[in-house]
Amino acid sequence: MEENRIAELQGAGNPPAPSFEGSLLLHTCCAPCSVACIDSLREEGIEPVSYWFNPNIHPFTEYRMRRNTLREYTASIGVKLLENDVYGLRAYLDAVGGNYEQKDRCPVCYHIRLDEAARFASENGFSAFSTTLLISPYQNHELLIAAGEAAEKKYGVEFLYRDFRPLFRQGQDRARELGLYMQKYCGCIFSEEERYQKRKKKHKEEA
């Protein structure tokens, strides 16, 4: 997303969130995105339990790096981390079903992760679930909400919505200060390819 859109989101004044009392399972895509989400929830008096489930991160070395970074970060700030530690390359590809374009695969990717977070939350006595994906201006926020609401309905557990996007830059800056591993692409092998395609295109234009 363009820098001006990020700036716009940073300046957006959100209405105060409705208060929440209960146990929250926070699906966590990566440590850097979790920094400001966790800080913000704690400011509200919510102590989230982080939940790792990201079969969309490829290749395995990248998956392991992001998972291990989250392990270290949550331990350092005293947040409980639960892991569904599945490197689900094949399951992810099967779910996407050959529809590799971003507009087709991202909704599926949101659905896989939020469906699982809601299932786990429901079966393990949490009052609600949410996701750190809600902080990213690079994700489709509306589709994320739709996926969260569908999972809420399916499992009968509240989807705690927060628009964390205004906190994105400060969270990333803090993550950098802390020396956390900062990934260069969203996660799937397609987003990794797109990163290089974009770079190639830029070099061509500059040549």
Residues near ligand SF4 (CB under 6 A) are 56, 105-106, 109, 186-188, 190-191
Q: How far is the CB of 206 from ligand SF4 (least distance, A)?
A: 25
Long-range contacts: 63-68, Cβ < 8 Å, 24+? 63/87, 65/181, 65/183, 66/30, 66/31, 66/181, 66/183
Tokens representing residue 58 in the block: 């490829």
| Helix, strand, coil percentages for the chain (3-state, nearest 5) | 60, 10, 35
Give the strand order in the sheet containing 24-27. Answer: 81-83, 48-52, 24-27, 128-131, 158-159
Q: CB neighbours of 19 closer than 8 A, spacing ≥ 6?
A: 44
Q: How far is the CB of 119 from ligand SF4 (least distance, A)?
A: 19
Residue whose structure tokens are 């927060």: 162
Type of residue found at 171: G
Is there a contact between 148 and 161 (Cβ–Cβ < 8 Å)? yes
Q: Which is nearer to ligand SF4, 46 or 109 (CB)?
A: 109
Q: How far is the CB of 95 from ligand SF4 (least distance, A)?
A: 10
Q: How far is the CB of 158 from ligand SF4 (least distance, A)?
A: 23
Q: Which is nearer to ligand SF4, 3 or 101 (CB)?
A: 101
Q: Which is nearer to ligand SF4, 121 or 133 (CB)?
A: 133
Q: Which is nearer to ligand SF4, 67 or 105 (CB)?
A: 105
Q: Which is nearer to ligand SF4, 148 or 187 (CB)?
A: 187
Q: How far is the CB of 143 from ligand SF4 (least distance, A)?
A: 9
Q: How far is the CB of 155 from ligand SF4 (least distance, A)?
A: 21
Q: Which is nearer to ligand SF4, 56 or 122 (CB)?
A: 56
Q: Residue 27, CB half-sphere, CA atoms under 13 Å: how many? A: 31
- Give the H or E element holding residue 130: strand 128-131
